Structure 1
């Protein structure tokens, strides 16, 4: 960095080394006057870094009664406290607070209230217009994460691979132009919140404490633009099984190609509000047909992508006669699930069958069913962990998936392995101790 004179005004030549997401570095020199340089340094060292050491804890002094862990309805009961962190372009991240749970105070023009629009239903007919809508409005000012704290058989509380959640949240923030943050510092703030609320972590190996970090744009402006103000908050909710049918009963899926969840170039690989709100119309139709979830298809060949709340896995004998565990690839329209990655890691470590991230079409599936090559199909996600699939309604025909007839051996094995790690029956570096 050196100093130059331009028409009598002192300026600073700043050499920047830029690193792309692919790891390719380039150098660039920019000329700044001294005031601009001070603003830049302020932005780098204040706006980017969130400090857990600044955390202020003023917990609730009145406490709600803890619910019976056997009668929990997902996401309807909340703990006594929450974490909040405000951000602005002018002053960066403010001090994090753990304080009593309270309603948010937002200006009616806050960007998250306007530009996280959820259209009623996404169809192939309106896909072209929705490409623009997704890019600039759907979920642009609202993103969230989902993770859990588990009380182990030894009484200790654990988080499951939380760094993966922080990494995904950071990527969602970049995609939606919301502010960046230090992932380790945010995770430490979340760990402190769970520690404060540790008595809310159910004393049960069939329940857990759901953690919902959320980041929203709060700038009071009706302009469609990158926000200059944001709020990051975390709330907690004790939960039991996600599906009312129970933690390991099979579910049915409804697949209709007229609806799409995501598309290339959109935000399907980010955990943004618009991806979920826009799916509710199709979800309601699935329920009317007697199915519990939507199986989202994509393209003219009806590629299988994912289920409303889960990534999807197929265990079958493939076209080459091999036992194969297959799941759709991360091509921009699939959410990179933490449970998905964990199942792939486990299966590859076992080395007992082929593991593939590959495209699977409905034609592939129906052909395999006709030839009795399908063994098991299951969904995977933080909310449900692992869930067997027994039926798909497609083009008016019920496709029977023989998951339960086959044990389900592999589905059960994954569930047991993950549960053993989460509830402390097995030591693993995937489990991060809270207390």
Structure 2
């Protein structure tokens, strides 16, 4: 039984008027990596039996035997070699020249990398190749590689933490893998089982465990990445892909205490739009934000607040998800964040904030520091509404969330030639952001027991 990624399913729905023959020709030869293997998670794909009857007929005729897309014989259901990442095939080559680990107080984000990296090649004919942990070294790419010309690349950001017992922990790696496979489908990259890659990441972190810092606020940042490596010019799905993972030790995002940032709200430059790729963690989403960020910095702002549409709808803050805290007339504190749509990246920290806040809202787990009358909303909010909330003093707090900083408080927003003041505490944090920081860090480091924290 063939299983389809959400993106390919949407393609099927929008192309229902086309013949099944032409659709399958495209799927087999032009965008083969989109189809999922049988081992992908149920959250990232669903079976063709769930499709309407007429579309189900399209997905089963004509048959494709021994499809190089999934490594699966679609007639027998047999899983063929290379269909999925195989952690048991891992080969390890240790470095003969280990690096000097810098002191924790000298760590800079993304500057010093560990001794080893993980590489896993994929080819449209042979499927996934042998996973290898090898000494950290430059990649070798043909100058015509697709990643260098058409930007088929995605990445993830996750962290490993050392707890008080010296154990190393990952924080919600399943959510990173869920998002990574979703991004891969959007780029017509091959599918894989997230748990298999997590197993290999654990091994990489174990090999380089001495690089995991133990001081408060420090961690090992892990960057899983996929790139199209097919040599040759021409837009199309990559027949060769490289998945690699590198890691670097990082210090606290705010090394001298929290410093609220000022945002420049702009609708002139648009980060994402309906039907686009803003909801996926693709490399191509980030480069276009550099020039607007430079323009904001020249005006004295630290980040961009991305707006969309004629109503100036709030979307994201720089590369972070956005949260706004409002006081309602009945005394309820409302935590608002834009809903997940094409324009909003499903952040792992965002999801964690919402899960904790909803548990408090429902009385399932009371969080000290949050009011009893508390409401969580995923709804659209516009910049004029935010400005009015500031004027009537119902605006209580604004912060961004992300893997790097966890929470990033906001002190002001520049909008249409005026600076909107945003309340925050003496420590730089608002009440809600302070609670979320405490609760998330507690789970990341093992001080608070949670299934989110995975011991390596």
- Per-residue deviation at 1:408? 2.1
Deviations 1:4-53 (A, max 9, x none): xxxxxxxxxxxxx9x99467624544455977799752995334311101
1:144 lines up with 2:169 in the alignment: no
Structure showing the higher strand proportion among its residues: 1
CA drift at 1:241? 3.0
Contact 2:71 2:82 in 1 (8 A): no
Superposition RMSD in Å:
2.4
Query: What secondary structure is seen at the aligned counterpart in 2 of 1:285?
Result: helix
Provide the rounded CA distance (Å) in 2 between the counterparts of 1:297 and 1:151. Answer: 38
Native 8 Å contact 2:258 2:429 kept in 1: no
Q: Could you give the per-residue CA deviations for residues 194-213 of structure 1, whole angstroms, max 9, x where no partner exists? A: 01111100111211000000
Q: Is the 8 A contact 1:262 1:268 kept in 2?
A: yes
Cα pair distance change 1:61/1:367, threshold 3 Å: same
Closer/same/farther in 2, CA of residues 46 and 318 from structure 1, 3 Å limit: farther
Change in Cα spacing, 1:61 to 1:329, as seen in structure 2 (3 Å) is same
Q: 1:88 to 1:102 in 2, by over 3 A?
A: same
TM-score between both structures, scaled by the size of structure 2: 0.82
2:396 equivalent in structure 1 = 375
Q: CA deviation at 1:248?
A: 2.2
For the residue of structure 2 that corresponds to 1:339, the secondary structure is helix
- Equivalenced residue count is 393
Following the alignment from structure 1 to structure 2, what is the Cα–Cα distance between the partners of residues 300 and 275?
A: 22
Closer, same or farther: CA 354–329 of 1 in aligned 2, 3 Å: same
Instruction: Report the secondary structure of 2:80's partner residue.
Output: helix
Partner of 1:112: 147
In structure 2, runs of 5+ residues without a counterpart are 2-37, 362-371
Partner of 1:8: none
* Cα distance, 1:348 vs structure 2: 0.5
Partner of 1:154: 165
Instruction: Decide which of 188, 192, 208 is 1:181's aligned counterpart.
Output: 192
Q: For 1:266, which of 276, 284, 299 is the aligned residue?
A: 276
Q: Deviations over 1:285-315 (max 9, x none)?
A: 1111111111111110111101112111111
More deviation in 401-410 or 56-65?
401-410
Determine if contact 2:65/2:73 at 8 Å carries over to the other structure: no
Verify the 8 A CA contact 1:241 1:247 in the aligned structure 2.
no
Segments of structure 1 that go 5 or more residues without pairing to the other structure are: 2-16, 117-140
User: 2: CA distance between counterparts of 1:256 and 1:314?
Assistant: 17
Contact 2:323–2:337 under 8 Å retained in 1? yes
Question: Pick from 121, 124, 131: which aligns with 1:96?
Answer: 131
Q: Does 1:414 align with 2:436?
A: yes
The reply on whether 1:257 has 2:289 as its aligned counterpart is no
SS in 2 for 1:191: helix
Alpha-carbon distance change, 34 to 408 in structure 1, aligned in 2, over 3 angstroms: closer
Q: Secondary structure at the match of 1:46?
A: coil
